[in-house]
Amino acid sequence: MERIKIDFNKCTGCRMCEVACSLSHLPDEVNPRRARIRVLREGEKSFPNIAGPYTEAGCNSQLLIVVDGVTYDECALCRASCPMKPIFKEADETPLKCDFCGLMDSPGPSCVRWCHSGALSLVETDL
């Protein structure tokens, strides 16, 4: 089964993925705010973040996580469509979620097609 692999070390923060996603889902509009992938900038690094499940409430405990020796706010890296954050939802609060566009008609998700740095790639997994 194919999954999108994210290598944040390669992400340049160009946000082509956000544009590709919005153009693939909206009729004739480019709007990163309505994309199901968003690139988060944390310090000097950029993290592509793909929309996941909707949650009705924010977490009670907001944790910090350490990646490569650098501490990040877990909320920032979380994929949920959550009331605490303005991402992964339409203006009327309808949640947005990645639908793995292009799976049936190759070559696959728009965000991966437009990513030139190799931060997003399609990999085969057994899951």
Partner 1 sequence: MDGWAGKILRVDLGSGRCATEELAPQDARAFLGGRALAVRLFTREVAAAVDAFSADNKLVIAAGVLTGTGAPSAAMACAVAKSPLTGGISAADVPGHFGAELKFCGYDAIILEGRAPRPSYLSVIDGRVRVLAAEHLWNESTDRCDELIRQEFEDPWKAREFHILSIGPAGERQANVATLATRGMLALGGAGLGAVMGNKALKAIVLRGTRGVSVAAGKAFFGAVTDAVAALRQEANTLSRQLSDAGTALFLQAASALGAVPVNNFSGRAFTNMAALSDAALARQLSGHRGCFSCPIACVRMTCVSANGFRGCGEGPGYDSLVMLGTNCGVESLAAISAAGYACRNLGLDPISTGGTIALAMQLAEEGLLGAEELAGPLSFGDGAGVVRLCRLIGLGKDMGCVLGNGAANLAAYCERPELFAGVKGREMPPIDIRAAQGLGLHFATSNCGPYHLSGPLAEELLGGLDAAHKTEGKAAQVVLAQNWRAAASSLGVCQIAFMGLDHATFAPLLSAATGAEVSTEEILLAGERAINLERAYNIAAGITGAEDSLPERLSAPMSAGPAAGQTCRLNELLPEYYRLRGWADDGSPSAEKLSALGLD
Binding site for partner 1 (CB under 8 A): 9-10, 12-16, 19-20, 22-24, 26-34, 40-41, 44-46, 76, 84-87, 91, 110, 113-114, 116-117
Cα distance between residue 121 and residue 79, in whole Å: 18
Tokens of 80: 């949920």
Shortest gap between Cβ of 14 and partner 1 (angstroms)? Answer: 3
Shortest gap between Cβ of 102 and partner 1 (angstroms)? Answer: 11
Shortest gap between Cβ of 1 and partner 1 (angstroms)? Answer: 24
Cα distance between residue 50 and residue 4, in whole Å: 9
Residues in the chain: 127
User: 51 or 110, CB closer to partner 1?
Assistant: 110
Cα distance between residue 110 and residue 18, in whole Å: 9
- The number of beta carbons lying within 10 Å of the beta carbon of residue 65 is 12
User: 50 or 110, CB closer to partner 1?
Assistant: 110
Handedness of CA 12, 124, 51, 59 (dihedral sign): negative
User: 55 or 117, CB closer to partner 1?
Assistant: 117
User: 27 or 126, CB closer to partner 1?
Assistant: 27
